């Protein structure tokens, strides 16, 4: 039995534009997905997802399949969870040259699905790491990032970027521009996250931006402007001391750029009323800046505020179902102590496909 975990992330700047080769700066946060993998003697894959929905679910199948079991969770949730795990298993089998390897897989996550915090990337990264370690072929974080990107690219019909998976694999703050991925120095920014309890359809939101960009020149200019915001923000971070408490001037500059970024994302049609209301609640509470994070359409916003005021304001905002402070996680994917795994038995709703 092998257990690995990987962090989620927030975007300081750059979501959506990164799909078109513009830079982005995602930051890993101390909320993790944990994947336990136990090798089987047959080629079946058994997946138990305990925390991806209210009730969780368990499925078992032999090989990849488009069929999904009749369990008491949404079809989209099962499709997403099983699709990403299928792709992660495929990458692990390929890396270990073990095409018939079977696994019992348990997924536990502190990161809500589809909320803009990189849940799928964290699950895929941790899954590849745990499965290859279980097969005796541990991989470097950079190779895990590459394979996790291929997995997301497959599931998202070629619309994935390397940002989420690279950030989850290596941790800390990273800069991604096309195939160029690297860590950057950044102080421990005072992130506050608000969650509306929903989730956006990443594929549809990305496709919507693509349609706008192809139809209107000013939409393409908007995407490029987001890239300009990222470059400006990166230059500000480059002058900051990563080991010191961020200055008020630094936070003010970054916050203004976050506000600009949110406005441009809103113009591209990827925000929502719930996200906008949480953004404005954070700003009115005194946050240095606030924006949506991830694909949008619902899910999470991220604000910069070293005080308790933004959290308090979000707590009393009708659209916000959860709020929390998110520390920068400088560690990426890692192996965990398997002795902590619960080892619970098969869920009664498991089905043989």
Domain 185-326: CATH superfamily, name plus number: GHMP kinase, C-terminal domain (3.30.70.890)
Please list the ranges in the chain whose pLDDT falls under 50.
54, 65, 67, 70, 72, 343-353
Q: Are strands 44-49 and 102-109 parallel, antiparallel or unpaired?
A: parallel
Quote the CA–CA distance of 109 and 85 in Å, as a whole number. Answer: 14
* Assigned fold of 2-183: Ribosomal Protein S5; domain 2 (3.30.230)
Q: Are strands 180-184 and 173-177 parallel, antiparallel or unpaired?
A: antiparallel
Residue by residue, DSSP assigns 242-293 as: TTSPPPHHHHHHHHHHHHHHHHHHHHTT---HHHHHHHHHHHHTT-SEEEE-
Quote the CA–CA distance of 93 and 95 in Å, as a whole number. Answer: 6
Reading the block at residue 35, the tokens are: 């994947």
End-to-end CA distance of the chain: 24
Q: Are 115 and 201 in contact (CB under 8 A)?
A: no
What pLDDT score was predicted for residue 346?
36
Residue by residue, DSSP assigns 208-233 as: HHHHHHHH-HHHHHHHHHHHHHHHHH
The C-alpha angle with vertex 165 and arms to 327 and 129, in degrees rounded to 5, equals 95
If one counts every other C-beta atom within 10 angstroms of the C-beta of residue 64, the result is 12
3-state helix vs strand vs coil in the chain, percent to 5: 40, 25, 35
Of 246, 145, 241, 244, the residue nearest 185 (C-alpha): 241
**Whose structure tokens read 């349609």?**
211
**What is the torsion angle, in degrees rounded to the nearest 10, for the CA atoms of residue 332, residue 335, residue 338 and residue 344?**
50
Cα-trace Rg, the chain: 20
**Whose structure tokens read 């895929």?**
124
What pLDDT score was predicted for residue 68?
52
Q: Are 189 and 289 in contact (CB under 8 A)?
A: no
Entry pTM: 0.86
What pLDDT score was predicted for residue 204?
87
What pLDDT score was predicted for residue 59?
61
Burial 74-88 (b: 16+ CB within 10 A, else e): eeebbebbbbbbbbb
What pLDDT score was predicted for residue 57?
55
What pLDDT score was predicted for residue 349?
34
Residue 300: beta bridge partners?
195
What pLDDT score was predicted for residue 113?
74
Quote the CA–CA distance of 292 and 296 in Å, as a whole number. Answer: 6
What pLDDT score was predicted for residue 2?
96
**Residues classed as catalytic:** 164
pLDDT per residue as tens digits for the range 135-167: 999 999 999 999 999 998 888 776 677 899 999
Helix (H) and strand (E) counts in the chain: 9, 12
What pLDDT score was predicted for residue 65?
43
Residue by residue, DSSP assigns 33-47 as: EEEEEEEESSSEEEE
Of 330, 311, 189, the residue nearest 250 (C-alpha): 189
Domain boundaries defined on the chain: 2-183, 185-326
What pLDDT score was predicted for residue 174?
96
What pLDDT score was predicted for residue 284?
97
pLDDT per residue as tens digits for the range 161-191: 789 999 999 999 999 998 999 999 999 999 9
């Amino acid at each position: 039995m092998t257990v690995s975990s990987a962090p989620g992330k927030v975007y300081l700047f750059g979501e959506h534009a990164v799909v078109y080769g513009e830079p982005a700066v995602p930051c890993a946060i101390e909320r993790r997905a944990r994947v336990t993998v136990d090798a089987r003697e047959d080629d079946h894959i058994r997946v138990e997802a305990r925390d991806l929905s209210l009730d969780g679910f368990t499925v078992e199948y032999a090989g990849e399949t488009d069929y999904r079991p009749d369990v008491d969770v949404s079809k989209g949730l099962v499709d997403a969870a099983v699709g990403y795990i299928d792709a992660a298993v495929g990458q692990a089998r390929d890396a270990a040259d073990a095409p018939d390897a079977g696994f019992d897989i348990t997924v536990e996550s502190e990161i809500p699905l589809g909320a803009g915090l990189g849940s799928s990337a964290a699950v895929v990264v941790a899954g590849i790491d745990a499965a290859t370690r279980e097969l005796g072929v541990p991989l470097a974080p950079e190779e895990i990032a590459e394979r996790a990107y291929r997995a997301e690219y497959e599931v998202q019909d070629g619309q994935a970027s390397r940002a989420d998976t690279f950030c989850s694999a290596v941790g800390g703050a990273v800069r991604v521009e096309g195939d160029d991925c690297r860590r950057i120095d950044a102080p421990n920014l005072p992130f506050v996250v608000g969650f509306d309890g929903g989730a956006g359809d990443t594929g549809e939101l990305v496709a919507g931006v693509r349609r706008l960009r192809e139809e209107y020149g000013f939409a393409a200019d908007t995407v490029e402007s987001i890239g300009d915001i990222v470059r400006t923000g990166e230059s500000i971070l480059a002058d900051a001391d990563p080991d010191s408490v961020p200055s008020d001037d630094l936070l003010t500059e970054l916050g203004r750029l976050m506000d600009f970024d949110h406005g441009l994302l809103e113009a591209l049609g990827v925000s929502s009323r719930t996200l906008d209301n949480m953004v404005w609640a954070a700003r009115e509470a005194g946050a240095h800046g606030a924006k949506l994070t991830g694909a949008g359409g619902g899910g999470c916003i991220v604000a910069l505020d070293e005080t308790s005021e933004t959290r308090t304001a979000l707590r009393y905002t009708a659209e916000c179902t959860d709020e929390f402070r998110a520390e920068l996680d400088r560690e990426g994917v890692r192996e965990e102590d398997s002795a902590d795994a619960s080892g619970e038995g098969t869920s009664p709703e498991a089905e043989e496909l």
